[in-house]
Structure 1
Amino acid sequence: MAGADGDDSLYPIAVLIDELRNEDVQLRLNSIKKLSTIALALGVERTRTELLPFLTDTIYDEDEVLLALAEQLEDLETLVMPTLRQAAEDKSWRVRYMVADKFSELQKAVGPEITKNDLVPAFQNLLKDCEAEVRAAAANKVKEFCENLPEDNREQIIMTHILPCVKELVSDTNQHVKSALASVIMGLSTILGKDNTIEHLLPLFLAQLKDECPEVRLNIISNLDCVNEVIGIRQLSQSLLPAIVELAEDAKWRVRLAIIEYMPLLAGQLGVEFFDEKLNALCMAWLIDHVYAIREAATCNLMKLVEKFGAEWAQNTIVPKVLGMANDPNYLHRMTTLFCINALSEACGQEITTKQMLPVVLKMSNDQVANVRFNVAKSLQKIGPVLDSNALQTEVKPVLEKLASDADMDVKYFAQEAISVLALA
């Protein structure tokens, strides 16, 4: 027990060791928190001779012990590093995993010299570990590890020792490893600068952007702004955008679907001007895709883009093209016009909906295809709350009443339902 004055140096070492080895996780964690204070109070000599020998086994269960010691002890190379090296090469993958997971903290604790001499080789080994869990944990620390390297030779260490391992991980057989790497690799561009990014990193980004794992592609697209800041939008469009467009036109509809889902995020990263120039036409082309799931996702995508770029942008760029599809010979494309209006009306607001969208919907009530007519009724029900009472009474009500007497039973049903929901009876 600690002395009456609370001096942790009087805390019996044997009791501390028992607590560190106890099955109760919370007790172990509490003991670990005491450890650095006790080590500091004991001093380097007593820690070396009395405390450290008891911790050799414990380290494999709780690598926070290493952190606590590394932060307090002076002779790190002699006292801590042998245990760390042993843990980083332990036959149990769980031990190696814990070392990889805490590697950034260890790096900060031991300082630049030991990092350069001991941690860089250890980190390389963890990135090449035979167990995927260990590689994934280490891959997730790549950006942070590189950021914390000593500035005077950071670039040389990364290019010589870390980047070759990263290149191997890009084509790793395990998708969790690739995904972990993809979530941080873009951050290396800000560390290595424009020239290294263009020459060495862009080919890796391109490979990951074409990876069969959706999460890998998403992680790359999600962090494009990091690269954009370093190399600029022009270089980015020349290198990575063609791959995105290629995926957007892939023969497999599920691949196209995945890119659609990323598009609002990508638009936000690249900005409205670049989006209009490079990607707008692609988004509109999806609206007439032969697969319904693609058309549906493309409609939802437009709504998200309007929420991001605003109603004025929609009025100038999206709405005219959508309304133009109302005259398409293919009735499926005409129905897509209605689906888009349903999705866009609230985001675009009352004025655009009333002046531009409503006349098109009303005109489509005369369509020869019953499926289009009953979707007109559903659209009027959907956009009704956006309209003012005058438009509802003078324009919407007469058309719904006409559809309520349609020869097609489905058209009748949906028209009557719209009249009821909008309280137009």
Structure 2
Amino acid sequence: MPEFDLVIIGGGIVGASAALAGVRKGARVAVVDAGLAGRATDAGAGIVSPVALDRGELRPEWTSVITECVGYYRSLLAELDAIDPAGAGSATFEQVGELVVAGDDPQEQAALDAVAERLSRPEGRRAHGITKPVQTIDGADLRRYWPELRGDLRGLYIAEVGRVVGSRLHDRLMTATRRRAQGARDGAAFELIPGAGMLDPLDSSPRVRVGHRVLDAGAVLLATGAWAGADLAGFGVYVDIRPIRGQLVHLRLDGQQTGMRPIVNTPGGGYLLGFDDRIVVGATHEDVGFDARVTAAGQHAVLSAALDLAPGLSAATVLETRVGLRPATTDGLPLIGAVAPAIHVATGLGAWGLTLGPLLGELAARHALGDPLPTRLDFLRPGRPLLKESA
């Protein structure tokens, strides 16, 4: 009998969600986490939105997954609040709405018009799980929300969008997992093991080596983000996944309450988020490998774009710059499912990590423990053309 029913390699938002799902099912779960620099969970901006601005809505199945993952937040937060009432509140998640804005750039204007047209129809809103009509807002009204914005912008207000503190949600997921496992009568158990977990390709049953310790597992779930490709290479399985560096700058407006301001998003990729103690602006998209450094060019690019969008932020205090290595695939879609007997993967969430991670982590864990993966996720299977097996 293996020591653990499920060993999860990777302790970010996907791994933490998977651990909670495993314990819910009465499983003995271990999470192996190396604490690598550049983990996307720790740096993510925190936008939780059912509306994609960067790919058009050409794939209804993709829209459906995003909508389902956003809807899952309500039930997940209710569970976390019941287990950990002291952690409830805006420090984890808050529905603040979203302003999608564009200036005079023709491409951004066209993208904004496409979003407005899509959400103007009841069937379009239903596809995204949006119940309230969107509002068109001009520059003067936009500045009532964010006085720092420049005056020539126009935009849309989408009420049903939230923002989350990724590190806070991660910690609450781990707390809930521990508390559910403590005193469990169904055999559930949980252990967090620091260190680099290595899959052992020599054994017929899954084994994970962490230093001198060997963990026997009923199943293994790789939730190591952009590092998943290297983890699978020992099995002769090569996944097309790479890190995309994102640098985000954290600011503070002294004397300003920014925690309930709506998210400001743009079709061009720039955004502003207000939290209780800071404003987050971002982000870069850099294909530079596993380089998690803050760079002068990255900071300059982020601040230049932010100040072009909101000149009134010029007097803000710079608190810090965070860096996340987003796991990206060629087609921009996640990989979730089995890649070998008892070896599963959940990665490739890109910039959608904090939106998709909680639900996809749960579904991946349940699948690793024997539940069928919903057929609606077939288009995300690792066996699609993005995955190649060695000769």
TM-score, length-scaled by structure 1:
0.16
Structure that is richer in helix per residue: 1
TM-score, length-scaled by structure 2:
0.18
Structure that is richer in strand per residue: 2
Could you say which structure has the larger radius of gyration?
1
Higher relative contact order (CA 8 A, sep 6+): 2
